[in-house]
Structure formats: structure tokens, C-alpha cells
Amino acid sequence: MLVQAQPPDSDKTDQLADALELAEVAPSSFPEILDAVTASILNIWTGFLGHTPFMIASLLMLLLTWVLATLVGRFTFRFARKTTQRLSFQHLIKRLAKIAVWVVGLLFTAMVLFPGLTPAKALGGLGLLSVAIGLAFKDIFENFFAGILILWRFPFEAGDVIKCENVCGRVEQVDVRNAAIRRATGELVIVPNLFLFKNPVEILTNRNKRRFTVIVGVGYGVDLAEAVKTIEQAVQSCKSVRDDEPIQIFPHAFGDSSMEIEITWWSGSTPLEERKSQGEVVAAVKRALDEAGMEIPFPQCTLAFSQPLVLERGKNSSS
């Protein structure tokens, strides 16, 4: 019986040949291993020395970018000072110009450092990198762009007193990511710009004056016309009340134990001026009403019974 020999598998033959070749090439002793490692380090060092001119040129490109960004920032800031009076907007234009110079400079630096990198590849890589960074740092970029819009469009500056939700204080600094607000009690609050951008912001010092209102009550037996006249004279005598705006005093409502009178006047816009003016007005009104003999009643309770009450004296009570 004849058995026909099968031809050897070509793939297995190739694998066997590669294994034999590696066995012949692979070092079999420590000196050979050391020689191989030394040769690899020498190859890396030779490649590094060969790439050194490109590294030096890229460092010079970075230095040139820094010089150009500084010069462009100064020129842009001078130009912005001629076009707008808002200091925050001036700094915003300067910052955006420097960012643009740095982006272009870094692209050229990358092309100098890696000679095979073309502008199309660099821009494509920058686009992919920006998308990845944008997805990873979404909140940071939202605050960044909100800060740009705040510096560009919002009318408050460092030194203004603003109120947003439960945050009220003087703005110390506005950056592209957050704002530093100093409360009247002394605490420093760091507020993300996105919070200021999405919520209504009251700028208390947008003008140098604001209107304030207090309510005072007089007894029901007091003549309202005389009370209004007395209160108006008292308010006019206050130094903190502005005389370029009208003082408005009107009977307001029927209170539980008094007739309520609304007093409205204008004074300074800062929180300190507000407290000083309110204290002066309240003290002057109280003094004027007391001198006129007009009662400022406190809450009272009157009990009415449908039938007369009969009082009986107990047996053990003293005569």
C-alpha cells in the first residue's frame, strides 16, 4: 500500500524560518544584550542630535511668537482705548488678539519641529484636539465664552455693586472664567460667569443715585394731610436726601393698628449710602411726629363681645 507524502504547509514553514532567524540574531549572553542596548541608545542619541536644529528653530519660533504677542497686545490695547471707554472691553480685545497670535505661532512651531507636518494636517489635528477638549471641559468653556460676552456686552465694571440671586456685593475683578465679588460683610465670593450670564443681574451703582422707600404708620385719629406735610418737611431736612429728585409721600394702606404712609426719596447708590440715608430719614420722621404730637401706634388688639360680661367676686377674694 502506497502512502503519498503531503506537501508542507507554507505558513508553518515561514513561521519556522522566522523563529530560526530570531534565534540566530537574538543575543545569547549578557555582553551581547549590553551591546544591543548600547546600540539602541546610540541610535536614539544620533537621531536626537540630528533633530536638534529643528528643536532650536522651534524654540526660536516660540520666542518670536511671545515677542509678537506682546507687541500685538500693546498695539491692540492702545487701539481699544481710542474706540471704547470700558476697561474690561479693552482688556478683552487685547487678550483675544494675543490668543490669536499664539495659536498661529504654535502651528508654525509644530511645523518647524516636525518637518513632515503640513498646514492641512496641523489644522486637522487642531480641530480634533479642540473637539476633544471641548467635550472634556464643557463647563470650563461655557464659563469662558460667557466671560467673553460679559466683558463685551455687560455694563458693569470692577468697582460696581451688583446683585444676582443671593449674591450681592462689589465687583473686584472680572476674568474670562469667573468674577470675584466682595460682599458688604467682607466675604469674597467667586462666581462662575455662566451664573451671571444666565440669571438677571441688578447693577446697583449703574447711576450715582437710587430711590428708597420706607413705610411709617400713624394713628387713625391723626389728620393725614398734616401728617404728610410734617413727614415731608422732616425728609427735606435730611442731608443725605438728594434735592434734584422729588420726594414722594402718599397714604399707602389701612393697617391693622395704623394708617400706613409711604415715604420715597432719592439718595446715593452704594449700600453704605443706602443705610445712612434710611437711618437719617427714619430718625427725622420719628422726631418730627413726636414733636407734632402724632402717635405712631404699635400693634393693638381690641376684643368685642356680643353680650355684656358679668363679673362675680369670689368668696375667698379680699373685700
Whether residue 247 contacts residue 281, with contact meaning beta carbons closer than 8 Å, is answered with no
Would residue 273 count as lying in a domain? yes
Residues 253 and 192 in one domain: no
Same domain, 120 and 183: no
145 belongs to a structural domain: no
Residues 215, 179, single domain; the answer is no
Per the domain annotation, does 7 fall within a domain? no
Q: In terms of residue numbers, what domain contains 122? A: 50-136
Q: Which long-range contacts (CB under 8 A, 24 or more apart) does 167-173 make?
A: 167/191, 168/271
CATH number at residue 177: 2.30.30.60
- 261 domain-assigned: yes
In a domain, 16, yes or no: no
* In-domain check, residue 102: yes
Number of folded domains that form the chain: 3
Q: Is there a single domain that holds both residue 83 and residue 118?
A: yes
Asked whether 69 and 98 are in contact (CB, 8 A), the reply is: yes
Query: For residue 147, what pLDDT is reported?
Result: 74
The pTM assigned to this predicted structure is 0.56
Residue 242 in grid coordinates: 438728594
CA distance 154 to 136: 28
* CATH number, position 250: 3.30.70.100
Cα distances (Å, whole numbers) of residue 296 to 229, 230, 257, 259: 16, 13, 10, 9
Nearest to 261 by CA among 301, 241, 288: 288
| Helix or strand run (H / E) with residue 26 | none
Residue 21 covered by a domain: no
At 167 the three-state DSSP class reads strand
Q: Return per-residue pLDDT of the chain as tens, 319 residues.
A: 444 444 445 555 555 555 545 445 445 566 767 767 777 777 777 766 666 777 888 888 888 888 888 888 888 888 877 776 666 667 777 877 888 888 888 887 877 777 766 666 666 666 656 665 555 555 666 777 777 777 777 677 788 899 988 899 999 888 777 889 999 888 999 988 888 888 888 888 888 899 999 999 998 889 999 999 999 999 999 999 998 999 999 999 998 888 999 999 999 988 889 999 999 999 999 999 999 999 888 776 677 777 777 777 665 555 4
In a domain, 44, yes or no: no
